[in-house]
Chains A and B, each alone.
Chain A
Amino acid sequence: DIQMTQSPSSLSASVGDRVTITCRASQSISTHLNWYQHKPGKVPEVLIYVASNLQSGVPSRFSGSGSGTDFTLTISSLQPEDFATYYCQQSYNIPYTFGQGTKLEIK
């Protein structure tokens, strides 16, 4: 199985900050990497698919990059509604696997 490792596991930041979350795969997954946002009591939502494609309706302050084994999710200017847990997920091989999550909290 492909292991996905996110860093950091938690992060404190302020509104307006630029934030980067990284995700590393245990083997090459080309660009089969997706990012999800999950808020407490809400349904997870895809932000970025296939490494760098912004899902329709997602604000342009979110961006994704990477290929092979190393990927990043960047939020260019944090907004209050962005405080949530973020997960990366690979769809290169079954079983699809998620990273352990990055909890983004208000500083």
Chain B
Amino acid sequence: QVQLVESGGGVVQPGRSLRLSCAASEFTFSNYAFHWVRQAPGKGLEWVAIISYEGKNKYYADSVKGRFTISRDNSKNMVYLQMNGLRTEDTAVYYCTRDGSWYFDLWGRGTLVTVSS
């Protein structure tokens, strides 16, 4: 069915790196922009990054700019989030979401990233 499935989360020490993946299925992947949205424990939702449908345009929240990189592979129906220089405050559930024209119309189930020494 139409879905997004995230993977790649885990426990990592501060300063280390992690790459999240998001696999899309049962829709025309290359027609859509995608976002990453996160939720820290006990906190609200926070937008992280967006990548345009063809991958040319990318934007980031100030909190991750310069440390995180969003990318996509339209031949594999995949979206990625490379996270470098991780901090304890990056601990969160990370959701991959589809841009349904100015709103998030499809969400994955999320993957938990825990940054701890």
Contact = CB atoms under 8 A, between A and B. Distances in A.
A47 B102 CA distance: 13
B interface, size bucket = 20 to 34
A1 B46 CA distance: 13
A49 B61 contact: no
Contact of A44 (B60, B102, B104): B104
Interface of B: 35, 37, 44-47, 50, 59-62, 95, 100, 102-105, 107-110
Nearest to B45: A98
A49 B50 contact: no
A73 interface: no
A87 B62 contact: no
Interface string A1-25: 1000000000000000000000000
Interface of A: 1, 32, 34, 36, 38, 43-46, 49-50, 55, 85, 87, 89, 91, 94-101
A98 B62 CA distance: 15
A44 B95 CA distance: 9
B7 to A, nearest CB: 15
A43 B102 contact: no
Given A87-B44, A87-B45, A95-B47, A46 B105 contact: yes
Contact of A91 (B44, B45, B46, B103): B103
Q: B interface, by DSSP: helix, strand, loop or mixed?
A: strand
B45 A49 contact: no
Nearest to B46: A98
A96 B62 contact: no
Contact of B104 (A34, A85, A94): A34
Contacts of B108: 43
A89 B44 CA distance: 11
Given A44-B107, A100-B44, A49 B95 contact: no
6 contacts: A44-B95, A46-B105, A89-B45, A89-B103, A89-B104, A96-B35
A96 B50 CA distance: 9
